[in-house]
Chains A and B, each alone.
Chain A
Amino acid sequence: MSRTASAEEWAGATAGTGSAVPAIATSGLHKAFGPRVALHDLTIKVEPGEVFGFLGPNGAGKTTAMKILLGLVRPTGGEALLFGRSPAEPAARRRVGYLPEHFRFQEWATGVELLDFHGRLAGMAAAERAERIPELLERVGLGGRGDERVRRYSKGMTQRLGLALAILHRPDLVLLDEPTSALDPVGRREVRELVRELAAGGVTVFLNSHLLTEVEAVCDRVAIVNQGRVVASGPLDDLAGAVTQLRLLLDRVDRELLALLGRHGQVARVEGTGVTLAVETLDVAPDLARLLVASGYRLYGLVPVQRSLEDIFVDLVGEVREG
């Protein structure tokens, strides 16, 4: 029943009806550890099939939020739901996979033993485990190393094992806490590919990271958190696109030109015969080009300059810190 339901929900979400039960929904989530408040009033919603980036500096409350979503930490206020159910119920975590931040596992066990244990806990049948485990070890680049003890694994290997554990039972929702922190650049690219693959398969991914490039590369939507609060959230394109700029290179810059440009955006900077123009959407670019040429200007260049997530992040986090 739950499988059909989630398939329908997913179809509903992609069709944009908005009637689906969200994969993750929190409202007014609050957590205090004694006097220290880790989360203030966190309200987020992640639709099924989305790749959601939870972005913030270290200590922003990302891991606490994820632990609440897994029933590992009890909130002091507010509510968290996984597919409409409280994560405190073990059954609500059945279709969820998790990579913990420090990816520490029982070191006395071998990789295969650990996967088998988790497979049993996740309710996988013996035949399913026997098929899935070797395939998965191969998939995360641990082929042939499964019978070694985890103690002998390098940091990167342990993290790969953690990824295998997270996706072992083909979950509908995967929560990854800093999934690339121990990996080299090649490993990071592999993780990005894995996330894209999961997303292509309709799996919802919730990604904690302080690495902006990571989030930028794979996420549909992000929430930027700082000091336990969401300071910005939305589709990645909106966040970045809200402050899109165009860089123009012309034969001359005069008053008429600036007036003309002013009607399409805001002139941010003039350097020689180059102008930087802040616009609301990139859609103004073709019209602007036609207009400039028609007005007798020689247009050498018209390039959109998207601000990176990093710029936005630094702006937002910096602002809050100052505030």
Chain B
Amino acid sequence: MSVLVVARWTVLEARRRRLLLAGVVLSVAFVALFAVGYTLLYHDQERSLLEAQARGLGQPGGLAAREELLAVSTLLVVLGLYGVQFLAALLALFLGVASVSPELDSGALHAVLARPLSRLDYLLGRFLALAALLAGYVVVMSGSLLLTARIVAGYQPGDVGRVVGLMLLQVLVLLAVSLLGSTVLPTLANGVVMLTLFGLAWLGGILGFVGTIPPGSELLANLGTAASLLLPADAVWRGASYHLLPPSFLAATSLGGSGEGQDLGLPFASLTPIAPAMLAWAVAYPVACFALAVAAFRRRDL
């Protein structure tokens, strides 16, 4: 009951601070920009391919042209969703960082926690409300982008459910770790720590990707994995990006030989699904962070 009261209060705060309004306005702008850019680029590409074919300059047969078109649309969708997950990740970090410590510093929390409200219930209410706001953001944004791609280019991702599910998991990981930071660190210090961790995880993903380029580097791959264990955010996004690729694209890249496949392998997307062990770690991670946050907050003198 108290959990719901705190959750409601948290959503009211997001409304009052115009967080919701700003989020909606910027999201609509982002989606509109994507839709316009995607439509123009796609049709432009389509036209030039058709023209090339008509002039007989294209490769014999329509297969390569269709593949190229598919590659372009896939690239654009991956880029768009990358933008969405990046914004969602930053939003999760900001909301998590601001979830507890600012009110602790100002003293506004004293009167609240003197009520018959356990610290577990308080943190749970905060976490659930922020997670719901972020989940709404991720679902609406990624849904709008994928729908646009489908209408414009008939784009079919491999598995929409897993794409969105993994993106939600990434957001939960980031929210939980920054909420943990918010119960033990002052706001500014927590912000710095969280952005550094996030940057490290991102860099780890890039290193891991570079490690896979032939001839391959085990050291880089291991560094990438270590960074992902520290904060399984980028790794989860890469897992989501794999399911974003249409089955026909994956088939084409494996058919088209290593040269074609590597060209389309993006440094911030993955051609392989997330490892089951990493997925298990990413699921356990927010649970562990939340449990640690509760333990730390219970012991803390206000």
Contacts and interface: CB of A to CB of B under 8 A. Distances in A.
User: Do these two chains interact?
Assistant: yes
Interface string A80-107: 0000000000111110101111101111
Nearest to A110: B16
B116 A118 contact: no
B113 A120 contact: no
A73 B116 contact: no
Contacts of A71: 113-114
B103 interface: yes
A211 B16 CA distance: 38
Given A72-B113, A90-B117, A108 B299 contact: no
A118 B115 contact: yes
Contact of B302 (A72, A93, A108): A72
B301 A121 contact: no
Interface residues of B, number: 25
B12 A94 contact: no
A117 B113 CA distance: 12
A109 interface: yes
A121 B2 contact: yes
Interface of B is mostly: helix
B16 A109 contact: yes
A105 B302 contact: no
Contacts of A120: 5
Interface in B108-138: 108, 110-118, 121
Contacts, number: 74
Contact of B301 (A72, A105, A122): A72
Given A74-B301, A117-B5, A104 B107 contact: yes
A138 B113 CA distance: 26
B12 A109 contact: yes
A111 interface: no
Interface string B268-302: 00000000000000000000000000000001011
B111 A33 contact: no
Given A108-B16, A117-B5, A120-B5, A96 B114 contact: yes
Interface in A144-161: none
A108 B117 contact: no
Contacts of A96: 114
B17 interface: yes
A106 B103 contact: yes
A247 interface: no
B116 A106 contact: no
B86 interface: no
Contact of A93 (B5, B16, B108, B116): B116
Interface of A: 33, 67, 70-74, 90-94, 96, 98-102, 104-109, 113, 117-118, 120-123, 162, 165
Interface of B: 2, 5-6, 9, 12-13, 16-17, 103, 106-108, 110-118, 121, 299, 301-302
Given A106-B13, A121-B115, 17 more contacts: A71-B113, A72-B110, A73-B301, A73-B302, A90-B115, A99-B111, A100-B114, A101-B107, A102-B107, A104-B108, A106-B103, A107-B108, A109-B12, A113-B12, A117-B112, A121-B5, A165-B111
18 contacts: A33-B301, A70-B114, A72-B110, A72-B114, A90-B118, A93-B115, A94-B116, A98-B111, A100-B110, A104-B107, A104-B108, A106-B13, A106-B103, A109-B13, A109-B16, A118-B111, A123-B116, A162-B111
